[in-house]
Structure 1
């Protein structure tokens, strides 16, 4: 069985309340230093101007980031009407100004309905989407025309409310891959005046909430006291909404060596289930077939 090296840092999940002006990479780099774990990544980018929940996965938990990203997200923010930017947010260059028509709740409800459900959304030109092997934002920064294809995303809930002159508050609950900047841009076009996203805050990612996230100064204080681990969640928190399978000693050894074995408890077929030993140790992620056999998908080292 593969053993974890003594020099490895901790495994787990850290919820960070990202401040404005920081890139998601900046936050990950900071956390990496504070907790002493070189292996770290985030489960879903937030743009530099945005704030709120950034789920940082550390050590072996980086292999679970995809499961976190697959869940729905909740955001709130503010849209400025009548001003279009090249990035569809407040950090971009203004490329058009148009008069804003009178907007009432009836009009806002109508527009919200247009962008609720499964919709075809074109990502912003300044995005990480790849075009012919290159990031769209790299091409855009070189002044090249970026042609992006609309793709289906799902918006479960969209609320628009007036917020002062030529401004709207936006509340969104959406599936993975949804660009809130694109929503703001498209809402502006639907209202006939253009728009951009002026602020954005992520409130939730799957079961993780911003209320439970740590501010950077709090993490610095804990690290200074040698207690950075206090802020971390166990890696299996990323999968608590998945079924679990428990393996006895023979099954545990088989799983850790990459082999299929029957679960010691009844478990429904699943593409991804949490797998534990009878001692409660988290062993990783397994796919369970109709016969109750567990196929290793992600194996965690002891």
Structure 2
């Protein structure tokens, strides 16, 4: 569950992999807002969608731990090429934090490391301590996490009993509020940058108040503009697939990028972008990324304005024009 710009703030004309042209468009492309069930890994959900869609061209845009539920954006077909923009959006969570116990994994799935009394804790003291995490902070990832060192996830080394020194990251907590205190469990709502570990937040919060804590449950209720209220449970998606009707849950990929400005292209400009050539389609802010549409309304490219050249450069070009 790294800090980055929001989708509407995307800048920079490099683009991972540079200008690319899509081949013929997949029969079905789009985004699925899946309500991930507890106990499944994010990759388990991807594999399930691969079976449903009949293609291996499926990926997710932001890992959820197995114990977590809620919004998991799954990209199908050409939508896999915009996953990086989905990953850069803010995330919102509802979490239950249990005080009085620390665990090896910082959540309820780990072994208990230490137990401490919680009788001294009050709602006021907990909220005051939680407020100190709001803003830009330095956060250490859990030892049991998918963060890689030397090309290997930390959790594999931790499971082997090796000494692990997780990296410290710059993350941003935009909002953190305790909405319920039923000792020893606090329920909190957190809005944060991508790459923020709510497990680490729970652990650090417990250390700050001197009682220790771990994450009891976690639900991602929003990822960018996508809300859990609009998410489809995986079981329902599988039922729809059995009826041959799963594609109705696909969201057009440009709907995920509506915070970016739209640029209307002539057929000649769309063709030029498809061949990796920049186009003159009006001015923009230097480094600004925009959605490119044909006069017929087809979403065909992501483009980036280069002020020095006075041109829009292709970042992602999609097939099927």
Using the size of structure 1 for normalisation, the TM-score is 0.94
Of residues 212, 237, 245 in structure 1, which corresponds to 2:263? 245
- Residue aligning to 1:134: 152
- CA drift at 1:268: 4.2
Q: Which has the higher contact order (CA 8 A, sep 6+)?
A: 2
- CA drift at 1:206: 0.5
- CA drift at 1:260: 0.3
Contact between 1:9 and 1:37, CA under 8 Å: does it hold in 2? no
CA distance in 2, matches of 1:238, 1:126: 31
* SS of corresponding position for 2:232: coil
- Residue aligning to 1:231: 249
CA distance in 2, matches of 1:216, 1:2: 29
Alignment of 1:142-181 (within 5 A): 142-181=160-199
Over 3 Å counting, the alpha-carbon distance change for 1:120 and 1:2 in structure 2 is: closer
Alignment of 1:267-286 (within 5 A): 267-286=284-303
- Residue aligning to 1:182: 200
1:244-279 CA distances to partner (integer Å, 9 max, x unpaired)?
21110111110111110112x564444421111111
Find out whether 1:62 has 2:80 as its counterpart. Answer: yes
Contact between 1:108 and 1:161, CA under 8 Å: does it hold in 2? no
Gaps of 5+ in 1: none
Contact between 1:9 and 1:36, CA under 8 Å: does it hold in 2? no
Over 3 Å counting, the alpha-carbon distance change for 1:2 and 1:177 in structure 2 is: closer
Question: What root-mean-square deviation, in Å, do the aligned CA atoms of Structure 1 and Structure 2 show?
Answer: 1.6
Find out whether 1:123 has 2:154 as its counterpart. Answer: no
Contact between 2:23 and 2:318, CA under 8 Å: does it hold in 1? no
CA distance in 1, matches of 2:22, 2:193: 36
- Residue aligning to 2:24: 4
Over 3 Å counting, the alpha-carbon distance change for 1:142 and 1:211 in structure 2 is: same
- CA drift at 1:238: 2.0
Q: How many residues align?
A: 299
Of residues 12, 30, 37 in structure 1, which corresponds to 2:55? 37
1:129-169 CA distances to partner (integer Å, 9 max, x unpaired)?
12233211111111111112322100000012443221110
* SS of corresponding position for 2:189: strand
CA distance in 2, matches of 1:160, 1:148: 27
Find out whether 1:71 has 2:89 as its counterpart. Answer: yes
CA distance in 2, matches of 1:21, 1:66: 25
Greater CA drift, 201-210 or 101-110: 101-110
- Residue aligning to 2:8: none
CA distance in 1, matches of 2:32, 2:301: 18
- Residue aligning to 1:98: 116
CA distance in 2, matches of 1:154, 1:146: 24
Greater CA drift, 106-115 or 180-189: 106-115
Greater CA drift, 65-74 or 144-153: 144-153
Contact between 2:71 and 2:223, CA under 8 Å: does it hold in 1? yes
1:153-194 CA distances to partner (integer Å, 9 max, x unpaired)?
000000124432211101100011100000000000011011
CA distance in 1, matches of 2:51, 2:112: 37
